Amino acid sequence: TWTPDQYDRTSDPHITAHRLTPAIAQRIKLELNTFKSQEMLVHQESRVNTHFFA
């Protein structure tokens, strides 16, 4: 582990996550759910471990 003097862990205030609205978050969740259910290859026995967003 690096000390604070060696590694800056502060967040960048210009990153999109700081301006994330509920509407944008919902669109991201929908896109992820669509990808996971239609495109992502998952072994049949592992599908129970795939998390979907509500």
pLDDT of residue 35 exceeding 90, the answer is yes
Q: What is the pLDDT, as a whole number, of residue 23?
A: 94
DSSP line for 3-25: -TTTS--PPPTTSGGGG--HHHH
pLDDT of residue 31 exceeding 90, the answer is yes
Compute the distance between CA of residue 4 and CA of residue 10 in angstroms, rounded to an integer: 10
pLDDT of residue 16 exceeding 80, the answer is no
